[in-house]
Chain A
Amino acid sequence: MATAPGHAPKYAQLSLIDSIGKKMPLLLVPILVVLGFLLIGSTSSWLTLTVSGLAMGMMIFIMASGLTLVFGLMDVINFGHGAFISVGAYVGISALLALDGWTGAPSLILNVAAVLAAVIAAMCATGALGWGFERVIVRPVYGAHLKQILVTVGGLIVIEQLIQVIWGPDEIYLTRPEMLKGAVTFAGAAIEKYRLLAVVFGLALFVAMRLVLKRTKIGLIVRAGVQNGEMVEALGYRLGLVFIGVFVAGSALAGLGGVMWGLYQEVITAGMGEEMMILVFIVVIIGGLGSVEGAFIGALLVGLLQNYVAFLEPKLALISNIALMTAILMWRPQGMMPVVKAK
């Protein structure tokens, strides 16, 4: 068979600008950090702000990662995700308060053990809650976005109110374990120990999550399911089961994020999940629905920007997130790294 006339395929490389454009989301965080440095001027305040921005971003990422995967896998949008954050914080902090013998002792091992116990308690509680939530609230409304939004908002309210019934309507103040208090001085900048820990922990979690998603069979199924669920099911995998697993894991991560956020703020309220939810949504939208990497970059951007702007122009900090979201959506209407095709 003769080739079509004029058929001369060329394997040209992407031009430099195009390939930078493709990688652009990855460059945004370093660019923002450098910009922050130039605008702030003083190295020590810049370092403090950067670390606290990264810490905040890591915590938001932990909360957002589950939500974006749940959406990607089953096209389920869960407005009740914020409730898991609150529940996690309450359960975790209650455990910490009960273990005050351990947290008050100036011993690193006991302190870490107490925090770990709190984290495990919170993750178990929110994981179980997530399982129940999926069964009772979400299961009957698969495939109907409108109802999903309405019903999960209802679930969010009910859980928040139940928290107030169980723990009382007032906010709970707490102090961090002895060894996590205070700050270390580095290059003239005072950096809170807890923030450093949060950054390290968040980074470790991100790496672990990436490894699971990229290197294991279950990760492969999850990623394939996000891209084309029908095809995965046709190959014989029970995506429904995988979905429940991801939902439970995402809820547990939200609980973990809640504990970390509670320790960061040193106060917890029943409404904290709802407040965090707004940041989480912004992160999920700018990251691109279904994309874990996008959520990671988005969370870091939100955390860093909020801290820089609060330092430079406190009044603008309130709308900095909305401005960021607007800018990113103007640049990429689907978010930075969309995985799920627009429907």
Chain B
Amino acid sequence: MLTHLLSGDRPRSLILTVLLLAILAGLAFAPFLFPGVRSLETAARICIFIVLVASYDLLLGYSGIVSFAHTMFFGLGAYGVALASTHMGRGYDALIVGTVLGAIAAALLALLIGLFSLRVRAIFFAMITLAVASAVAVLVSQLSGLTGGEDGLNYSIPRELTPAFRLGKLFDISITGKILNYYLVFFASLALFLLLLRIVNSPFGRVLKAIRENDFRAEAIGYRVVLYRTLATCLSAAVAALAGSLFAIWLRYVGPATTLSFEIMLDILLMVVIGGMGTMYGAVIGATLFVLAQNYLQNLMGVAASATEGLPLIPQLLDPDRWLLWLGVLFILSVYFFPTGIVGRLRSED
């Protein structure tokens, strides 16, 4: 049963199993284990990023395609929900319509980009997605009439999903709409993750891996490489858009900085590489570690910067605004010395 649910792709390492179970339990009972607004915020972010990173891994780890437009698809889903909620008014129908339209738009756009670039050579894809994603980001911040520009959009979602809705108490924790919202995010993320696990362990996923290893040989065996690559791109874009919709439902706000910025793209890349490319569990480990570090280490950097004040250069290097510098260094080092990521390391030890 469990093996079936995991599509036969078991963690294959004791430490990894324990870690994954701990993360699952921590996320499943987050509102009760770690009460407080901030920790719930962190838990929801972890859930959403697990899906986002896993969908990116379908592209990077399983198909060997580098895309820089993943935040664009994420943003499409988020803006889909935001725009639908703004124009259709508060309601579940708006959420559903926004989510579905966002996912379809993302898949179509991915198909278009894929048709243009993947049919020539995979490396075009990286450059073209970078160009298209930046154009879309600029477009979103310029078309302020539609998208709210840099300020983004605030909108209301059904009352049952907001903190104002109260249901009673359980284990001394008052069950508000925010907690219901969290469980919506949690179960949707879990379902999407299991779906992705199903996809990569299907015959389709196996062909993707074959193409990643040797596309020429895969073509020679008779698989249409371009078709498979394009399909993987579309699937990954659609799942990213769904994650974006969840993010929009959770935050009740979308803006270019939270959904479309290049910085988030880097975060995703780093999570995939640290967790381990080419395994879905890597996304879980990478996203959890990274979001936790982002939320708590940045404060630590601020403390360290003020502690070293007076020394030359060191405070500037430790300034929390230089967070990206250390990410970049970590990123390069992990690509060189740690190419299989944490999951790959754990699996090879057993």
A150 touches B66 (CB 8 A): yes
B 113-136 binary contact with A (CB < 8 Å = 1; else 0): 000110111111011101110110
Q: Which residue of B lies closest to A71 (CB)?
A: B123
Selected contact of A151 from candidates B120, B132, B336, CB within 8 Å: B336
Residues of A contacting B: mostly: helix
A188 is an interface residue with CB less than 8 A from chain B: no
A158 touches B127 (CB 8 A): no
> What are 11 of the A-B contact pairs (CB < 8 Å)?
A77-B123, A149-B126, A150-B66, A151-B335, A155-B328, A158-B325, A165-B325, A277-B130, A281-B128, A282-B131, A319-B135
A274 touches B262 (CB 8 A): yes
B142 touches A318 (CB 8 A): yes
Q: Which residue of A lies closest to B135 (CB)?
A: A322
Distance in Å: Cβ of A141 to nearest Cβ of chain B: 8
Selected contact of A343 from candidates B116, B121, B126, B138, CB within 8 Å: B121
- Please give, as numbers and ranges, the residues of chain A lying within 8 Å of B313 by CB-CB distance: 165
B130 touches A278 (CB 8 A): yes
A161 touches B316 (CB 8 A): no
Q: Which B317-350 residues have C-beta < 8 A from chain A? A: 317, 321-322, 324-325, 327-329, 331-332, 335-336, 339
A321 touches B131 (CB 8 A): yes
Question: How long is the Cα–Cα vector from A147 to B333 in the complex, in angstroms?
Answer: 11
A 285-300 binary contact with B (CB < 8 Å = 1; else 0): 1000000000000000
A40 is an interface residue with CB less than 8 A from chain B: no
Q: Which A204-237 residues have C-beta < 8 A from chain B? A: none
- Given A154-B335, A165-B325, A284-B127: 19 more A-B contacts, CB < 8 Å: A77-B126, A145-B123, A147-B335, A150-B269, A150-B273, A153-B266, A154-B332, A155-B328, A156-B328, A161-B325, A169-B321, A277-B130, A281-B131, A282-B131, A319-B135, A319-B139, A333-B119, A334-B120, A342-B121
Question: How long is the Cα–Cα vector from A319 to B138 in the complex, in angstroms?
Answer: 9
Question: How long is the Cα–Cα vector from A151 to B66 in the complex, in angstroms?
Answer: 12
B 150-168 binary contact with A (CB < 8 Å = 1; else 0): 0000000000000000000
Q: Which A294-343 residues have C-beta < 8 A from chain B? A: 315, 318-319, 321-322, 325-326, 329-330, 333-334, 342-343
A95 is an interface residue with CB less than 8 A from chain B: no
B64 is an interface residue with CB less than 8 A from chain A: yes
- Please give, as numbers and ranges, the residues of chain B lying within 8 Å of A274 by CB-CB distance: 262
Selected contact of A165 from candidates B116, B119, B317, B327, CB within 8 Å: B317
Question: How long is the Cα–Cα vector from A326 to B117 in the complex, in angstroms?
Answer: 10
Selected contact of A137 from candidates B132, B138, B321, B332, CB within 8 Å: B332
A161 touches B328 (CB 8 A): yes
Interface size class of A (residues with CB under 8 A): 35 or more
Question: How long is the Cα–Cα vector from A161 to B323 in the complex, in angstroms?
Answer: 9
Question: How long is the Cα–Cα vector from A276 to B332 in the complex, in angstroms?
Answer: 23
Q: A154, A330, A343: which has the most chain B beta carbons within 10 Å? A: A154
A140 is an interface residue with CB less than 8 A from chain B: yes
- Please give, as numbers and ranges, the residues of chain A lying within 8 Å of B336 by CB-CB distance: 140-141, 151
- Please give, as numbers and ranges, the residues of chain A lying within 8 Å of B126 by CB-CB distance: 77, 79, 149
Distance in Å: Cβ of B235 to nearest Cβ of chain A: 19
Q: B132, B138, B262, B335: which has the most chain A beta carbons within 10 Å? A: B335
- Please give, as numbers and ranges, the residues of chain A lying within 8 Å of B119 by CB-CB distance: 333
Selected contact of B124 from candidates A275, A285, A330, CB within 8 Å: A285
A 263-280 binary contact with B (CB < 8 Å = 1; else 0): 000000000001101100
B138 touches A318 (CB 8 A): yes
A239 is an interface residue with CB less than 8 A from chain B: no
Question: How long is the Cα–Cα vector from A278 to B130 in the complex, in angstroms?
Answer: 7
Question: How long is the Cα–Cα vector from A319 to B64 in the complex, in angstroms?
Answer: 28
Question: How long is the Cα–Cα vector from A278 to B116 in the complex, in angstroms?
Answer: 17
Q: Which residue of B lies closest to A75 (CB)?
A: B123
A157 is an interface residue with CB less than 8 A from chain B: yes
Q: A77, A150, A275: which has the most chain B beta carbons within 10 Å? A: A150
- Please give, as numbers and ranges, the residues of chain B lying within 8 Å of A150 by CB-CB distance: 66, 269, 273, 331, 335
- Please give, as numbers and ranges, the residues of chain A lying within 8 Å of B329 by CB-CB distance: 154, 158
- Please give, as numbers and ranges, the residues of chain B lying within 8 Å of A155 by CB-CB distance: 328, 332
A48 is an interface residue with CB less than 8 A from chain B: no
B335 touches A285 (CB 8 A): no
A146 is an interface residue with CB less than 8 A from chain B: yes
Distance in Å: Cβ of A70 to nearest Cβ of chain B: 13
Q: B134, B138, B142: which has the most chain A beta carbons within 10 Å? A: B134
- Please give, as numbers and ranges, the residues of chain B lying within 8 Å of A77 by CB-CB distance: 123, 126-127
Q: Which residue of A lies closest to B117 (CB)?
A: A329
Given A140-B336, A165-B313, A165-B322: A321 touches B135 (CB 8 Å cut-off): yes
Q: Which residue of A lies closest to B332 (CB)?
A: A154
